[in-house]
Amino acid sequence: MIDLQKDWEFNVLEIYNYRKPGQYDVLFKFIKDNHDKIPGDIVEAGVFRGKSIIALGMILKELGSDKRIFGFDSFSGFPTVYHPKDNLEEFDHLFQRGEITKEHISEAKKNIEWRRVVSGDKISAKNISSSGDFSGTTIDLVRRKIQLLDLDNIVLIDGPFSKTMTENCFEPATIMAVLVDCDLYESYSQALAFVWPRLSPGGLVYLDEYYSLKFPGARTATNEFLARNTAVLKMAEIKPLDFERWYLSKPILV
Convert the pLDDT of each residue in 38-62 to its tens digit: 999 999 999 999 999 999 999 999 9
Could you tell me what percent of the chain has a pLDDT over 70? 100
- Residue 122 pLDDT exceeds 80: yes
Mean pLDDT taken over the chain: 96
Which residues, listed in sequence order, are joined to residue 75 by a DSSP beta bridge? none
Going through 21-115 in order, the beta strands assigned E by DSSP cover 41-45, 69-73
- 8 A C-beta contact, residue 20 and residue 116: no
User: 241 falls in which pLDDT band (50, 70, 90)?
Assistant: confident
Write down the pTM of the prediction. 0.96
* Homologous superfamily of 7-80+133-249: Vaccinia Virus protein VP39 (3.40.50.150)
Q: Please give the pLDDT value at position 253.
A: 77
User: 196 falls in which pLDDT band (50, 70, 90)?
Assistant: very high
- Residue 240 pLDDT exceeds 80: no
Convert the pLDDT of each residue in 90-101 to its tens digit: 999 999 999 999
Residue 231: alpha-carbon gap to chain centroid: 18
Q: Please give the pLDDT value at position 110.
A: 97
Find the mean pLDDT for residues 213-224: 98
Q: How many C-beta atoms surround the C-beta of residue 2 within 10 A?
A: 10
Q: Please give the pLDDT value at position 109.
A: 97
Q: Please give the pLDDT value at position 170.
A: 87
- 8 A C-beta contact, residue 160 and residue 66: no
Convert the pLDDT of each residue in 158-195 to its tens digit: 999 999 999 888 899 999 999 999 999 999 999 999 99
Q: Please give the pLDDT value at position 64.
A: 97
Q: Please give the pLDDT value at position 254.
A: 67
Going through the chain in order, the beta strands assigned E by DSSP cover 41-45, 69-73, 154-158, 175-180, 199-207, 232-235, 246-249
Find the mean pLDDT for residues 236-246: 85
